[in-house]
Amino acid sequence: MAFEQRVVPGFRRRQARTEMSVKSEIISQFRQVAEEQNKSLAPLEDDLPLLESGLDSLCFAVIVARLEDLLGIDPFTTAEDAPFPVTLGDFVKSYEHAAVS
3, part of any domain: no
Whether the predicted model's global pTM rises above the 0.85 cut: no
In contact, 76 and 64? CB cutoff 8 Å: yes
11, part of any domain: no
Q: Bigger pLDDT: 15 or 97?
A: 97
First to last CA, the chain: 33
Quick: pLDDT tens for 39-62.
Answer: 999 999 999 999 999 999 999 999
Please give the residue range of the domain that contains residue 37.
16-100
CA–CA dist 66, 62 (Å, integer): 6
What CATH number did the domain enclosing 43 receive?
Answer: 1.10.1200.10
Helix locations, 1-101, DSSP H: 19-36, 57-71, 75-78, 88-100
